[in-house]
Structure 1
Amino acid sequence: MPLFQDPQTSTLMYHYMDHVADLLQPVLHPMNPWRTTYFPFALEGCPELFLSQSSFPSSYASIALFHSLLSSAAFHLRNATGDSKKFYKLGLQHRAKSLRALNAALTCPNESQLYTVYLTAMLSLVTIDTITGEDTDFPIHLKACRQLRKPPPGTLNDTSRPVDTIFHFLSLLARTTSLRPESCPEPPDSTRLFDQVTHFSSDERSIEHIYGITPKLGNLLEKTCQIAESLTVYKGNQIPTILLTMSEELKYELCAWDIDSEPFYSIGPEHGTMLEIARCQARAFHSAVLIFYYRTIEYYNPINLEDEVSFIWKNLTTAEDLKDDFMHGEKRAAPMSWPAFIAACEATDRESWAEWWTRVQGYRVGNFAKQWRVIQRLWNIMDNDETSKSWVDALKRSGELILPI
C-alpha cells in the first residue's frame, strides 16, 4: 500500500529508505539511524501521507528534514542514472525548500525531542553534500549544530544519542582536514587540555554500526586532534613539557591498541559478515589515526608509514570483498572513507589506491568522486612542490575543503 499521495514523493522516499539509508553506514544493521530516526521525523513534516495526520501542525524542522531526505534521494538517483537532469532539478528544488523551512524554524528548541529533530534536520543537509560531492557548505551546517542549545545532561534518549554521535563524529573528521585548525588560546596544562573535548561514551555503542569503529577509537582520534591543535600555538617555539608528555602517552595508547580488546557490543556474532566488515573498518581506522598522529604531532619525524598504508588497503579491500560476496555485487553499505583518504594521501604505491577509489565509485556517492579528485591533486602538489613536506602541507596549499566520510 503506498504511503504517499504524490508518485514523485513516493519514488524519492522509497529510494531513500531502500538505498540511501544503507549507503550512509559501512554495515547493514537494523538500528540504522537514517532509517529508524531520520525517516520517522521526516514523515512528521510530510503533507502527502495517506495515513491520518496529527492534530498538531508539523514543525519547520520536520518539514526541512522531509525535503532534505527527498533531496538526498534525488541527487543519488541523478548519480545512478547517468546525470539525469530531472533528478538533479528535483534535488535542487527540495534542498531549497529544506533550507527555507530550517531558516523559519525556532533557533532554541527547549525539549530533548525537538533538539533531536533540529539536529537531525541540520545533519541531513550534510548528507546532501555527501551525496552530491559538489558543495562545501558542511562547515556551516556543523557550526549551526554546535550552536544549537543542547538539553540538560541525562535527558537524551535512545533516539537522540545516535544522532548526537553522528554530529560529533562528522565534526571530528572535519577537524582532520580543516584548512584552519582550531588552536588552544593559552598554554595548556594537564587538567585543562581536554576539558572541552567531547569523548565518545563507552555506554553509547551506536558508533560501531554507524561508522564501523568503537568509542575508544573515536576518542583516540579526538585526543590526536586536540594535541595537534594545541601544538599550533607554539609554531616551532619551546613546547611545554606537559604537552610533550601527553603526546608520548597518546602514542603509547595508540601503539597498545588491539582489535581483540574491542568487543562490538552492537554487532553481535549473529551478524557474522557484518561484524567482520566492522572489524576491518576498525583496523583500518586505527592505522589511519596512527598516520595522522605522526603527520600532525610528530611532523618532524621522517618515519616511513607504508606498512600502515598497506594495512589500511588490505583491510578496506577485504571489507569490500566481503560485501560483494554477501550482497552479490550490489553496492550498498558504503565504506566510511576517512582511513582510505588518509592512507591514499600518504601512499607511495599509488596504483593500488587508484584501483580502490575507482572501485568505490560504484556506490554513486559524489563525495567519493570528490575525495579521489582531491587525492590526485595532492599527489601532484607533493610531486612538484618541494616545500610540501607531507600531504598535510599539500592539503593546505591546495585550498580544498573536504569532509572525508
Structure 2
Amino acid sequence: MASQASGRAEINTHTRSFTGCGTCRNRHVKCDEGRPTCSMCAEYGLSCAGYKNDIFFDTESPDNRIRFRRPLLTEKERQRMSQWLVSTAPPKSTNRLLLRLDEEVESHVTDGGDIQLVMGPFGVFKSHQLQNAHSSPCEEVPAEHEIIETCTSSPPQEISHIIDPFTPVPDISQWSPGFMESLLERPEQDTSPATPDLLDMVIEQSHMANTPVTSQEYQLNTFLPNLYCNTLSNTSLMSPPNLTSAVPPDAVFLLKHYSSKVISLMTPVRHKKTPWHILFIPHVKDCLAALALGEDLNHASLCTFFGTLAISAFSLGGVSQSENWLEQGQTYLHRARGHAKAMLLTAYDIPKPAKYKSILMGILTMIQVSNFSGNRHQAEGYFLEAEKIIRLKGLKRKKSRKVRLLHHCYVFERMFHESIFICGANSVQRHHLRRAIESSGLSRCSVDGLSFRLYKWQNLQQEMERVRGREEGENDLHLERPGLFSATLYPEIFGVPEPWLVLLSSVIRLGVEKDGAEQEINSVGLNLKDYISRAKALEDYINQLQRPSQMSFSSATHQSKVDQHILENMLEAMRNALTIYFYRRIYDLNASMLQEKVANVRDCLLQCEYADSSVVHGSAGFIWPAFIAACEAEDPEVQRSFSSWFEISASRSGLSCFNQTLDSIQRIWEEKSRGSRSSITWLDLMKRAGYQQQGLVI
C-alpha cells in the first residue's frame, strides 16, 4: 500500500497542465487538449482560444533540475507543415526522390569531400553545391488555401529546391554565451527572400511599437525629466545601437549571475519562496524563451527583462572591474528605460496592453536598478508611478498571493526611501499624483491617506495590539494605521516583523508633521501638546521592542543556524537604527548621546561578517541601519569600521550604491570635523544643499 501511495504521489507531482488551451488556462480548469478545439470549451459554449507555442520552465522536478516543456508549434502551424511536406513530396515521385538523395550522398562520400546537403524534409541533408544551374530561389511559404491549390494543380517540386520552414531550435537549456553568439550570426551571403523560419525568428530584431505623443507622455517628460536617457519622439522608440538581435548573447550568463548572486542583495532569507524566485526569475526566463521563439513581447515584460540584465551586468562590472560589463549594463539600462516609458504611457489603456503583475514587476525592476546604481533621486519617479498603479488598479481587486508579494516589495523599499527622501514631500510630482488618484474616484479604495500624514490614534499600545482585518491589512498601503495583520508577508520575504515597519512609518509621519509646522504650511496639524504626547508614545514603544533572539519568524524555520544568527543581528541593527532615526528626526538629539546605539549597529554588522564571510550584506535591512548609524559615528575607529564594511560590500556585490553611500557619509563626517558640531547630520545637509540638486545617496 505504501508503494502504491508513493507511486500515485510521483504520478501526481505536476497537477497543472502546461499545454491546455488559452481559455481553460485563464479559467483555471482542466483542459482535455482536444484538437483543433477542446471539448470543455464546446461543452460550456465558450470560444476556444487555441494553443499557444511557448517554452514552460518546470522547477518542481524531484531531482531539483530545471526542466521545460516546449510545444513549439500551434495546431494551425502543424497543419501547414504537414500540408507543405505533402505538397513537396507527391507519392508518385517519392521513390525517385529518395533514390536521387542516395546517389547524391554516395557521390560525395566517394569524392571524399565535405558533405553539405540541403535535400530532404526538415533540411536534414545538406547539399554540397547550393548554387546549381537549375536551382531557383527559395519561395515564401504559401498560405493554407494556396497550399491546397498547389497540391491539386501544380506540378511536383523537387525537394532540393525547398528549405524547410520549421528548422528545429537548439535546446535553450544548453545555451551558453559563446553558443548564442554563433547562433545569432547571420550568413554573409544570403540574398534569398526571408521565410518564416524559426531560426530567422530567433535572430529577428525586436522592434518597439510606434507610440504617439499623448498628454500622459507630456506629464512624464515634465515631471520625470532625468528618469530616461531619451524621450519618445512623435514616431517611434528607437532601439539602442549595440543590440542587433532579439536575444542578447550574454542573457543566459547574466541571468545565472542574477539568480545566484544578486538576489542575496535584496533579501537576507535563503528559501525559494521569495518574490524573486516565484515571480521575477520565472518571468525573465519566459521573456527569454519568447524572444528565442520570435514572439512579440509587451513593453512591461521587456522592461523587466532588460532591467534585470542591467542589474546583473552592473554587478559583474563592479566585481570584475570590467568596463565592458559596465558599458553593457548602461546599454541594457537605456533600453529598459525606453520600454519603461512606453509601458507607463499605455499602462491605463483599455484594453490593457499588459497584465497588472507584469507592469508592477517592470516598475519594481526599475526601482531596483536605480537604487543599486546609486540613483535614488531617479527612483523617486518610479516609486510614484508604482504607487499610482497600485492605488488605481491594485487595491480595488481581489489580491492573489503573487500580487501581495509585489505590493510588499514596493512598501518595504518605499518606507526606507521615504525615511531619507524628505525634501520631496511637497514636490510637484506628488501633488500631481494625488490629483490624478483623487480625480479617478478610486481614492476610497485606499485605507491610508494619499500623503504621509499621522493617523489620529489615541493609545498607541492598544492600537499596536489591535487585530486588523483583511481589507484594512491589504489596503493600508503605506502602513498608516497601527495594528497586527496575521497574513503579512514581510517576515517571509525580508525577515522583518510588520510592526517594526509600522513604527518606522509612524516616525516618518510625525517628522512630516514637524516639518509642516516649521514651514508654517500645516494649518490643520497637531498642536505642541499632541505632538509631544505622540512622540513620547512612539519613544516608549520603540525602546520596548523585543530583542530579535526572543522572536520566532515563519521565514526562518527552515534556515540554518548561521542564517538565523545573521537575521537576528540584522534585526538588532534595525532596532538600534530605528532608535537613532527617531531621536535625530523627532527630538534632534545630540549625536554624542547616541554613540552606544551606533556602536551596537557596528557590532551587529561585524558579527554577521564573522558568521559567514561569503554573505553579501546588501539587503535594505542592512544598508539602511548602516547608513543611519554611520552618519552619527564620532569615534574614528568606529568610522573606519563602517568604511570597511561599505568597501567590502561594494567589492563583493559589485554595485556602486555602497561606494556612493560611503561618499555621502564621509561628506557628513567632514562637515562635522570642520564645524565641530556633533549635532549636524544627514538631515541638515539635505535641507542645506537640497537633496534633488546635490543628492545624498544611499
For normalisation by structure 1, the TM-score amounts to: 0.86
> For 1:186-225, what per-residue CA distance to the aligned partner results, in whole angstroms no more than 9, with x for missing partners?
9977259998842596335542354342211111111110
| Structure 2 Cα separation of the partners of residues 337 and 282 of structure 1 | 12
In structure 2, relative to structure 1, the CA distance for the partners of 1:87 and 1:387 (3 Å cut) is same
Using the TM superposition, give the Cα deviation of residue 155 of structure 1 relative to its aligned residue in structure 2, in angstroms: 1.8
Greater alpha carbon shift after TM alignment, 382-391 vs 143-152? 382-391
Q: Is the 8 A contact 1:208 1:278 kept in 2?
A: no
Counterpart of 2:412 in structure 1 is 169
Task: Look up the match of 2:275.
Answer: 33
* Residue of structure 1 equivalent to 2:490: 207
Distance 1:231 1:389 in 2: 18
Counterpart in 2 of 1:89?
327
Partner of 1:341: 627
Paired residue for 2:370, among 129, 132, 146? Answer: 129
* Counterpart Cα distance in 1 of 2:267 and 2:371: 12
2:584 maps to amino acid: R
How far off is 1:255 after superposition? Answer: 0.8
**Of 458, 479, 496, which aligns to 1:198?**
479
Q: Does residue 247 of the first structure (1) align with residue 539 of the second (2)?
A: no
- Match of 2:355, SS state, is helix
Confirm whether residue 150 of structure 1 aligns to residue 389 of structure 2.
Answer: no
Q: CA deviation at 1:293?
A: 0.5
Higher mean Cα deviation, 118-127 or 278-287? 118-127
Deviations 1:165-192 (A, max 9, x none): 1211211111221241637999977259
1:369 equivalenced with 2:659 (yes/no): yes
- Percent identity reads 18
Asked if 2 retains the 8 angstrom alpha-carbon contact of 1:26 and 1:212, the reply is: yes
User: Compared with structure 1, are the counterparts of its residues 152 and 300 closer, same or farther at alpha carbon in structure 2 (3 Å cutoff)?
Assistant: closer
Distance of 2:527 and 2:363 partners within structure 1: 39
- Summarize the alignment of residues 222-261 of structure 1 with structure 2, pairs less than 5 Å apart: 222-235=505-518, 239-259=527-547, 260=549
Provide the aligned C-alpha RMSD in A: 3.3
1:211/1:244 CA distance change after superposition, 3 Å: same
Bigger shift: residues 184-193 or 91-100: 184-193
Give the direction of change, closer, same or farther, for the CA distance of 1:204–1:403 in structure 2 (3 Å limit): farther
Q: Write the distance in 2 (CA, Å) between the matches of 1:280 and 1:270.
A: 14
Task: Check conservation: 1:285, 1:339, Cα contact below 8 A.
Answer: yes
2:673 match: 383
- Offset of 1:376 from its aligned partner? 0.3
Q: Which residue of 1 aligns with 2:421?
A: 178
Residue 75 of structure 1: SS of its match in structure 2?
Answer: helix
- Runs of 5+ consecutive residues of structure 2 not aligned to the other structure: 1-170, 181-246, 427-448, 464-475, 521-525
1:334-365 Cα shifts (integer Å, max 9, x gaps): 56310000110011122222232233223222
Counterpart residue number, 1:304: 593
Aligned 8 A contact 2:573 2:622 in 1: no
Is residue 2:355 matched to residue 1:114?
yes
Whole-Å Cα distance in 2 between the matches of residues 239 and 301 of structure 1?
Answer: 24
Q: Distance in 2 between matches of 1:243 and 1:261?
A: 32
Give the structure with the higher percent helix: 1
1:397 has 2:688 as partner: yes
User: In the alignment, is the contact (CA less than 8 A) between 2:356 and 2:393 conserved in 1?
Assistant: yes
3-state SS of 1:107 partner? coil
Deviations 1:270-326, CA, capped at 9 Å, x for gaps: 5322122111111110111110100011115676011111111111211122222xx
Question: Cα–Cα, structure 1 residues 396 and 379, in superposed 2: closer, same or farther, change >3 Å?
Answer: farther
With over 3 angstroms needed to count, the CA separation of the structure-2 counterparts of 1:279 and 1:209, relative to structure 1, is farther
CA distance in 2, matches of 1:276, 1:330: 12
**Residue 502 of structure 2 corresponds to residue 219 of structure 1:** yes
Using the TM superposition, give the Cα deviation of residue 58 of structure 1 relative to its aligned residue in structure 2, in angstroms. Answer: 2.8
Q: Structure 1 counterpart of 2:499, which letter?
A: K
Equivalence for 2:582: 293
Rate the CA distance shift 1:243–1:99 in 2: closer, same or farther, 3 A.
Answer: same
* CA distance in structure 2 between the partners assigned to 1:93 and 1:302 by the alignment: 43
Measured in 1, the distance between the counterparts of 2:489 and 2:664 equals 30
Q: Contact (CA 8 Å) 2:664, 2:697: kept in 1 or not? A: no
Alpha-carbon distance between aligned partners in 1 of 2:546 and 2:498, rounded to the nearest angstrom: 14
Gaps of 5+ in 1: none
Larger Rg: 2
| Structure 1 range deviating more: 145-154 or 217-226 | 145-154
When structure 1 is superposed on structure 2, of 329-338 and 312-321 the one drifting more is 329-338
Note the alpha carbon deviations across 1:73-107, whole angstroms, 9 max, x for none.
Answer: 1111111111x232122212211221222222232
Name the SS of the counterpart of 1:234 in structure 2. helix
2:564, 2:492 → 1: CA distance? 9
| 3-state DSSP of counterpart to 2:555 | coil
Amino acid at match of 1:401: G
Match of 1:8 among 250, 257, 263: 250
> How many angstroms apart in 1 are the aligned matches of 2:532 and 2:259?
48
Does the 8 Å contact 1:63/1:101 carry over to 2?
A: yes
Q: Is residue 2:563 matched to residue 1:274?
A: yes
CA distance in 2, matches of 1:196, 1:353: 33
Give the direction of change, closer, same or farther, for the CA distance of 1:205–1:330 in structure 2 (3 Å limit).
same
2:648 to 348, 353, 359: 359
